[in-house]
Homo-oligomer: A and B are copies of this chain.
Amino acid sequence: MPRRSDCPISNALDFVGDKWSLLILRDLIFFNKHSYLEFLNSPEKMATNILSSRLEKLEKDGLIAKRVDPNDRRKKVYELTPAGKDMLPIMLEMIVWSSKYDPNIDTPKKLIKRAKNDRENLIRELLARIEGEQN
Contact = CB atoms under 8 A, between A and B. Distances in A.
Given A26-B9, A94-B8, A107-B8, A101 B89 contact: no
A6 interface: yes
> How many copies of this chain?
2
Interface stretch (A14-22, A66-74, A126-134): A14-22
Interface in A19-58: 19, 22-23, 26, 30, 42-45
A65 interface: no
B43 A105 contact: no
Nearest to A116: B120
Contacts of A8: 94-95, 98-99, 102, 105-107
